[in-house]
Amino acid sequence: GAVVSQHPSRVICKSGTSVKIECRSLDFQATTMFWYRQFPKQSLMLMATSNEGSKATYEQGVEKDKFLINHASLTLSTLTVTSAHPEDSSFYICSASHPGQPHSYEQYFGPGTRLTVT
Amino acid sequence: DAKTTQPPSMDCAEGRAANLPCNHSTISGNEYVYWYRQIHSQGPQYIIHGLKNNETNEMASLIITEDRKSSTLILPHATLRDTAVYYCIAGLMDSSYKLIFGSGTRLLVRP
């Protein structure tokens, strides 16, 4: 089956620094990837939709200058949290769809990245 | 996008069937019902989807009412590994369609 990986799985950074999270589709090409954020005991909140070769589409209330998304290839999307603050501490999850396949309606999720900002 | 409503929590005994309900009374004619689950601290996993017919796969069965206003996910023989949060989502069958997660149902399978 299709596999999506994320790196790193956990990261701790100091307040004011930037952190980059990578999302890779390992065995398929993903024209569309999604980024979610999840706070403890809460549901997933969609942050943005990332399309290969074009600008990401951000959900209402998500600061695009703070959460930079780059989808430079069909297998890689990155999320950079700029000038991180403790309130950005969260579980970040990406997903990818596999168009053109029999199960193209299914989204494949990465294992998530836990960000802690101190 | 149609809103879905699920009970916040349920439990069942290991080996018994787990029946998870979902209300989606505003679902439109071309929206499917998708089910995903999230085991603690992992990414969500696709379970099953359907439009109006009942569906079954190796993981679960999906029963959709005739008026499509509600559905039930059935795990026929729940195991401890099925303990997770289950999300019912109404959406289009489109690989670029964004999934909007509700609060889900936290299922606890008891030994």
Taking only the tens place, the pLDDT of each residue in B11-61 is 999 999 999 999 999 998 889 999 999 999 899 999 999 999 899 999 999
User: Quick check: A4 pLDDT over 90?
Assistant: yes
* Bridge partner list, B87: B36
Partner residue opposite B44 with nearest CB, options A97, A109, A114: A109
CA distance A79 to chain B (A): 16
Taking only the tens place, the pLDDT of each residue in A59-98 is 999 999 999 999 889 899 999 999 999 999 999 999 998 7
Taking only the tens place, the pLDDT of each residue in B63-79 is 999 999 999 999 999 99
CA distance B71 to chain A (A): 19
Mean pLDDT in residue range A25-36: 90
DSSP A73-114: ETTEEEEEE-S--GGG-EEEEEEEE-TTSTTTT-EEE---EE
What pLDDT is attached to residue A100? 63
User: Quick check: B94 pLDDT over 80?
Assistant: no
Do B99 and A97 make contact, defined as CB atoms within 8 angstroms?
A: no
Do A112 and B43 make contact, defined as CB atoms within 8 angstroms?
A: yes
Q: Which residues of A touch B41 (CB under 8 A)?
A: 91, 112, 114
